[in-house]
Amino acid sequence: DTEVTQTPKHLVMGMTNKKSLKCEQHMGHRAMYWYKQKAKKPPELMFVYSYEKLSINESVPSRFSPECPNSSLLNLHLHALQPEDSALYLCASSQERPGADTQYFGPGTRLTVL
Amino acid sequence: AQSVTQPDIHITVSEGASLELRCNYSYGATPYLFWYVQSPGQGLQLLLKYFSGDTLVQGIKGFEAEFKRSQSSFNLRKPSVHWSDAAEYFCAVVPNTGTASKLTFGTGTRLQVTL
C-alpha cells in the first residue's frame, strides 16, 4: 500500500482565518514533506520532517507552520495567508533512506485565499 | 549548476501512437531518476524510477524509461498511448550524494491525446 491521504480536498479561507491541512500515511515511512504547487508549475519543496523532526525549511514565511505530532501524521497550520498563497498543497512521504529514496504523494489540498 | 530539463512544454499525440518524453539532467554524479504523472487537480503518481542496474526500466501503465549515461538522459516512452494518458509528466532527480533526499523536478511536459 503506497497511500498518502490529505484532508480537506478543498479549502477556502479569508486572510484573517486560521486553518490546518492534514496529511497521513501508514506505510511506516519516517520522512514526510510539504510541497506547494502553483498552476502549470512543478511542485516546490516547503518543509521536510525526518523522524518527526524538522530537517528542512525552504525559507517559508512564518504564516505557514508545520507540525509532525507522530510518525504517521503531518499538519500544516495556516494563519494570515495572502491571496498569492492560493495553490495546490501536496504532502509526500518516504522511507528516509539517503539518496535512494522514493517519495509517494497524496492527492493534495486545493487552497484558495480570498 | 545542477539541473533537470524537460525540453518539451507541450506534446500532442494521437491515441494509439507511440510517445517519447525527454528528460536531461546536469549533475556531477548520476542522480537517482524518477518519472511522475499528474492528472489535472490531482497529486503526483510515481510511474517508474532508476537507481542502478538495468538501464531500461519498466513502470506502471505500460510506461518504460531508458537511462543513457552518455547523453545524461532518462526519456520516458510508451508504445501506444491511450486517451487516459493525457496529463502532466514530471521528470525528477535526487542527487547521489548520500545526503537526505531532496527531490528536484523538471518543469513538466503536458501531454494531450487526440482521438
> Is the CA virtual torsion A53, A31, B101, B22 positive or negative?
negative
Q: Given an 8 Å threshold on Cβ–Cβ distance, is B44 in contact with A55?
A: no
Amino acid at A61: P
What integer is the mean pLDDT of A108-112?
Answer: 97
* Measured CA angle at B79 (ends B77, B80), to 5 deg: 120
Number of domains in chain B: 1
Q: With beta carbons less than 8 A apart as the criterion, state whether A77 and A65 touch.
A: yes
pLDDT per residue as tens digits for the range A40-77:
999 999 999 999 999 989 999 999 999 999 999 999 99
CB distance B101–A101 less than 8 Å? yes
Q: What is the sign, positive or negative, of the torsion defined by CA atoms of B6, B8, B10, B12?
A: negative
Q: Does A106 contact B at CB distance below 8 Å?
A: yes
Name chain B contacts of A50, Cβ cutoff 8 Å. 100
Span A84-97, pLDDT tens digits: 999 999 999 998 77
Q: Which three cell numbers stand for residue A6?
A: 490529505
**Using an 8 Å Cβ cutoff, are B68 and B55 in contact?**
yes
B45 is in which domain, residue-wise? 3-114
Name the residue among A46, A42, A40, A49 with its Cα closest to residue A67: A49
Query: Is A27 at the interface with chain B, CB within 8 A?
Result: no
Q: Report how many Cβ contacts below 8 Å link chain A to chain B.
A: 69
Q: CATH number, domain at B66?
A: 2.60.40.10
Helix (H) or strand (E) holding A80: none
**A108 contacts in chain B (CB < 8 Å):** 41-43
